[in-house]
Structure 1
Amino acid sequence: MSRYKAFIFDFDLTLVDSTAPIVKCFKHTLKTFGYDIPDDKTIIDTIGLPLTDAFDILSGITPNPNKEEMRKTYVAFADGIMAKESIFYPDALGILQSLVTAERKVAIVSSKMRYRIVETFECHTSSMPVDLIVGLGDVGAPKPDPAGLLFAADKLGVYREDVLYIGDSYIDAQTAYNAGIDFAGVATGPTPKDKLLEYPNVFVGDSLTEVFLNI
């Protein structure tokens, strides 16, 4: 087992594959507001950004005057599909449970709303092997601001040097760097492996299993 006392994970495309429902939610929202719908890759590349920033990009209007109403429409549509259509990666729950069994602290820091993360666990498993979830709105600023990671470390009662943050995107890598916390990348999202390797890291792998075999 690694030397770290606490492991903090991103959620979307790190622990769960939520690509399909996210794309559906963006398409529904853009169509509702009369905007052209971009290709799936363009939509997927915005995953991890705050929704309002994503709507600026996807609508081609910055700042988009409708983005707060678009966010509300997205969230309302997501209420019906997001949790049930998100799928945990095959190794994710086992790794979380093994960390808890090894008496390591486990947390999630995500730009997703906390209740949605809880709902996803409840929809797919009878257990929630996580000590803490920090979601959108729990701290003052979204990633790559380090507030969420620093808040989680404080709540877990660990020093930054004893924490590893695991995420799939350049935003996660930048967040860890901004927080002064070690980063491990998992190339399961839209950020290519070589891009993740450009950031300070202890390891970048193609899966969570590969990461945990090498840290």
Structure 2
Amino acid sequence: MNYKYYFFDFDYTLVNSEQGIVGCFLKTLAEYNIPAKPWDEIKLTIGMPMLDAITQVSGLTDPSKKQQFLLTYKKYANELMTPNTHFFPDTITTLNKLKEAGCTVAIISTKTRHRIEDKFKQDGCSHLIDFIIGSEDTTASKPDPQGINMALERTGAPHSDVLYVGDSLYDAGAAQNAGVDFAAVLTGNTPKQAFETYPTVQIMNKLSDLR
């Protein structure tokens, strides 16, 4: 492998969590009697900071109402999220390959850490991840580099030895702002041409293309 440290986004990078995320939004919208948006429109918010996604899906702008919406969303997420989150077919083999090569593997995501941990525990592969930095660990969302910077500080890794892998422009921006290399995977909603304006070292159709 070309790097010693591989940091990953989670949703649409390692897993397809669309069914869980959109399902939670639809149930929360129904509880608040807010008209539902189309599935394909809701899924475009995956990877956004959560409060921004809530505004886009629900139209709510008042901070207190958005926080209340988020609490209800989390209630449904406790039931729906992990069972409806699925690793992409080549995720586990790719992570295995990295660990066998002696690489440090971490996840830096706007999803809550415990949801990510639950998925890896459910599938019996927690050993493939050295650590996870989730939304509860940071005070700023991507493209702010805070999460990546925390991982750099935790590992002591030189910037040149780190690759951040993600599916969105939020991920690309975070890597650029942190001063580390970025690889894009086209398993999310962002088209190839959108990444070409960022200093990506690789644009992949699937995770197993990772170098």
TM bucket (normalised to shorter chain) is: over 0.9
C-alpha distance after superposition, 1:145-193 (max 9, x if no partner) = 1000010111122011210000001110111111111100000011112
Counterpart Cα distance in 1 of 2:175 and 2:157: 15
How far residue 139 of structure 1 moved from its aligned partner, in angstroms, is: 1.8
How many residues are aligned here? 211
Helix, strand or coil for the counterpart of 2:10?
Answer: coil
Counterparts of 2:121 and 2:31, CA distance in 1 = 30
Aligned-partner residue type, residue 177 of structure 1: Q
Give 1:176's aligned amino acid.
A
Matching residue's letter, 1:115: H
Give the aligned partner of residue 183 of structure 1: 182
Structure 2: distance between partners of 1:117 and 1:43 = 21
User: Any idea what the Cα deviations from partners look like across 1:57-91, whole Å, max 9, x if unmatched?
Assistant: 11224346411011111111111121121100111
The answer on whether the counterparts of 2:60 and 2:66 sit within 8 Å (CA) in structure 1 is: no
Partner of 1:5: 4
Q: Kindly indicate whether the alpha-carbon contact (under 8 Å) linking 1:56 and 1:64 is maintained by their aligned counterparts in 2.
A: no
TM-score relative to the length of structure 1: 0.94
Equivalents in 2 of 1:150, 1:65: separation in Å? 30
Q: What amino acid does structure 2 have at the position aligned with 1:49? A: M
SS in structure 2 of the partner of residue 13 of structure 1: coil
8 Å Cα contact 1:13-1:189 kept in structure 2: yes
| Alignment match, 1:30 | 29
In 1, the alpha carbon distance for the partners of 2:62 and 2:182 equals 32
Aligned to 2:56: 57
Which residue pairs with 1:67 in the alignment? Answer: 66
Tell me which residue corresponds to 2:141: 142
What TM-score do you get using the length of structure 2 for normalisation? Answer: 0.96
Alpha-carbon distance in 1 for matches of 2:175, 2:126: 27
Moved more, 29-38 or 114-123: 29-38
* Matched residue, 1:152: 151
Partners of 1:84 and 1:124 within 8 A in 2: no
1:156 counterpart letter in structure 2: T
- Pairing 1:165–2:176 present: no
CA RMSD in angstroms, aligned pairs only? 1.3
Q: Indicate if the aligned counterparts of 1:56 and 1:63 stay in contact, CA closer than 8 A.
A: no
Distance 1:21 1:125 in 2: 20
- In structure 1, the partner of 2:16 is 17
Whole-Å separation in 2 of the counterparts to 1:143 and 1:178: 9
The residue number in structure 2 matching 1:174 is 173
Letter in 1 for 2:17: S
Tell me, which stretches of 5 or more residues in structure 2 are unaligned? none
Q: Report what 1:195 is aligned to.
A: 194
CA distance in 1, matches of 2:126, 2:175: 27
